[in-house]
Amino acid sequence: QNLRALERLMEHAGKALALMPSRWPVRGAVNSEFGHRPSPWEEGTEFHPGLDIAADPGTPVHAPAPSSVVFAGRQPDFGLTVVLLHGHDIRSIYGHLSKVLVSAGQTVGRGQLIALTGNTGKSTGPHLHYEILVKGQPVNPRAYLWE
């Protein structure tokens, strides 16, 4: 009986892990980390809620895990943006895109092409802004990235 309970627990944990955004959406140097940083816009510091990953415009952006597209469009600061829901109230945000290749309501698989990097919105140059929210709060994406 205990073994059966442990098997169910492991199965549940495996399914939960499969939904985690553990894959890098693009490969590139991280040129701005999560956390407080000097503001590129004004004097002083600001909180940066994600990672800025250097990428040439048009670089493919891939879904890091199975998910649902909850937003695909333009936002004031991030320009062209995609927001994915991974379950367990975990969302990932992809900003400054040049092209969005998915639509709200669509289901995407791990590794699926969702967008192309760009320089839209309030941006200092071509890159991908990658952010993870847990229950609406930004968390360091590096805590999830192991692939």
Report the alpha-carbon distance of residue 58 to residue 117 in Å, rounded: 5
Count structural domains, the chain: 1
Predicted local distance difference test score (pLDDT) of residue 87: 85
Helix (H, G, I), strand (E, B) or coil at 67: strand
Q: What is the CATH number of the domain that holds 137?
A: 2.70.70.10
- pLDDT mean by block of 10 residues, the chain; 147 residues: 68 65 94 85 86 97 97 97 94 98 98 98 94 97 87
Predicted local distance difference test score (pLDDT) of residue 9: 62
Range of the domain at 68: 2-143
